[in-house]
Amino acid sequence: MDLNVAILGGGSWGTTVAHLISRNTHAHLWARNPDTVQEINTQHTNQTYLPGAVLSPKLRASDDIEDVVKYADVVVMAVPSQHFRSVLTRITSSIRPWVPVISLTKGLEMGSNLRMTELIHELLPGHPAGVLTGPNLAREIMAGQAAASVIAMKDPIIMQALQKVFSSGLFRCYTNPDVIGCELGGVLKNVIAIAVGMGDGLGAGDNTRSALITRGLSEISRLGVALGGHAETFAGLAGMGDMIATCTSDQSRNRRVGMELAQGRTVDQITDGMFMVAEGLKSAPVVLELAAQNNIQMPIVEDVFKVITGESSPSRIFKGLLRVTAGAESEPG
């Protein structure tokens, strides 16, 4: 392949994807921090986000976003949801027409409730938009462990071409035309992971964790289908696969947030000590708003929101779960 791919965002996942792409074609990474840029270009590392990992020497980095984007044949967005709009706005004058834009971000925009691909369509009309998502833990992938992901786009020709851009070694990339379902799967599971983390932090066992993951998957599937996603998507890599990884891994930021909430720390205390973003904290109120608009009951998400806002505590939430009367498995609760 002889494509120029711009990756915007020098965090752990953006750097990892840039590393994978550089094995296949030309990858140019934009990072805000000049020190990170220099480190990637001279030492082929990003110790802040990927300690101990060695990056491809073919990967180039720059802190000049216009320079990175102006020659790009594909743009990959790897910035947190709250910065997604501002970064897209910065590249509107430098991106060439019809260049595909792929989101790696698993979040929703607060205020508008928009998915990241919806933001791409709004700010860059005419540019094909897609999402790369799945059970992808950056450090494991950089360590050479096998992993799988999904590229979701409406255009099958572009989607299949980009499948080859992202697939690398033991990192396998599948395709799925269900953009809505794939994108929502990555967003919604983060909130469930906070709930699972609270249970783990309180010393709940494997049975509790399994129940929360299963019932949480039921919740996000109901909302996802109501918003236009396909039910089968939530049983695949973008749904169940991502849910399992995020809810069980010690590398999961959202699970760690839940564990620290269970230890009595406040959201402000937790986020002040975190170097990377836990999207579930931002997504919880947006998810609840979408659920209310679509008349979908999401009791686990409601409980997480109550803890995040200080209305309740993890211990009260889990005591409440024991008093809930179980109905049919197909019902919420």
Active site residue 189: yes
Choosing from 70, 189, 282, 319, the catalytic residue is: 189
Provide long-range contacts, Cβ within 8 A and 24+ apart, for 168-171: 168/20, 168/21, 168/23, 168/24, 169/20, 169/23, 169/144, 170/144, 170/145, 170/146, 171/20, 171/141, 171/146, 171/147
Q: What is the 3-state secondary structure (H, E, C) of the chain?
A: CCCEEEEECCCHHHHHHHHHHHCCCEEEEECCCHHHHHHHHHHCCCCCCCCCCCCCCCCEEECCHHHHHCCCCEEEECCCHHHHHHHHHHHCCCCCCCCCEEECCCCECCCCCCEHHHHHHHHCCCCCEEEEECCCCHHHHHCCCCEEEEEEECCHHHHHHHHHHHCECCEEEEEECCHHHHHHHHHHHHHHHHHHHHHHHCCCCHHHHHHHHHHHHHHHHHHHHHCCCCHHHHHCHHHHHHHHHHHHCCCCHHHHHHHHHHCCCCHHHHHHCCCCCCHHHHHHHHHHHHHHHCCCCCHHHHHHHHHHCCCCCHHHHHHHHHHCCCCCCCCCC
CA atoms within 13 A on the CB side of 99: 22
Q: How far apart are CA 52 and CA 121, in angstroms?
A: 37
Query: Does residue 110 contact residue 142 with C-beta atoms inside 8 Å?
Result: no
Residues with catalytic roles: 189
